[in-house]
């Protein structure tokens, strides 16, 4: 499978998310790339994304876990397979039922973060995704997202 950007395959009407919406010009525009097994994103926090001097804001890290976890769920549940590029922007959207974030060690400012996501458990109604955020070669944050298909009532 050719790597693709998951958020570029979200439907037109659901691509405004502050964290990862390609149509939100005030947002973080997180891009998660799927290789068939794992989702990977890279993000460099801005100087304003500070917690205490020298360290990245925990709420931003939680946001990265959230959007990247949901993207991982969406790609892991996709059955289009090899034809994803041809299929176009119509990946099923997921929402966050719960989010857990462990801040294992402080995350330094000014470095590119690598974010990986793996689906641990998958069924029709929920996907459990593990997300890790690394900087300078060390895992700084470990998160878990419980993702559920977008309910019809939110459409």
Of 72-80, 99-107, 118-126, 128-136: span binding a second copy (CB under 8 A): 99-107
Whole-number Å distance between alpha carbons of 73 and 129:
7
CB of 10: closest distance to a second copy in angstroms? 10
Q: Which stretch binds a second copy (CB under 8 A): 9-17, 34-42, 83-91, 131-139?
A: 9-17
Where in 29-58 is the site for a second copy (CB under 8 A)?
A: 46, 48-55, 57-58
Which residue's CB is nearer to a second copy, number 13 or number 44? 13
Contact 64, 120 (CB under 8 A): no
Q: Is 94 helix (H, G, I), strand (E, B) or coil?
A: strand
**With binding defined as CB under 8 A, does residue 67 bind a second copy?**
yes
State the nearest-atom distance from the C-beta of 96 to a second copy, in Å: 5
Q: Does 97 bind a second copy (CB under 8 A)?
A: yes
CB 147 within 8 A of CB 69: yes
Q: What is the dihedral of CA 10, 91, 121, 155, to 10 degrees?
A: 70
Does residue 68 contact residue 114 with C-beta atoms inside 8 Å?
no
| CA–CA separation, 22 and 73 (whole Å) | 18
State the residues that interact with a second copy by CB under 8 A. 13-14, 16-19, 21, 24, 26-27, 46, 48-55, 57-60, 62-64, 66-67, 93, 95-103, 106, 150, 154
């Amino acid at each position: 499978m050719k790597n693709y950007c998951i958020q570029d395959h979200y439907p037109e009407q659901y691509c405004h998310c502050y964290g990862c919406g390609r149509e939100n010009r005030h947002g973080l525009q997180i891009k998660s790339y799927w290789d068939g097994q794992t989702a990977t994103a890279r993000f460099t926090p801005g100087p304003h994304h500070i917690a205490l001097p020298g360290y990245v804001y925990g709420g931003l890290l939680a946001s990265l876990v959230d959007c990247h976890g949901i993207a991982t769920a969406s790609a892991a549940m996709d059955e289009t397979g090899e034809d994803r590029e041809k299929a176009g922007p119509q990946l099923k959207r997921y929402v966050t039922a719960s989010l857990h974030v462990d801040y294992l060690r402080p995350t330094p400012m000014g470095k590119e973060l690598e974010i990986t996501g793996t689906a641990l458990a998958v069924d029709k109604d929920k996907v459990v995704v593990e997300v890790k955020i690394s900087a300078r070669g060390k895992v700084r944050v470990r998160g878990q997202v419980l993702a559920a298909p977008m309910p019809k009532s939110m459409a």
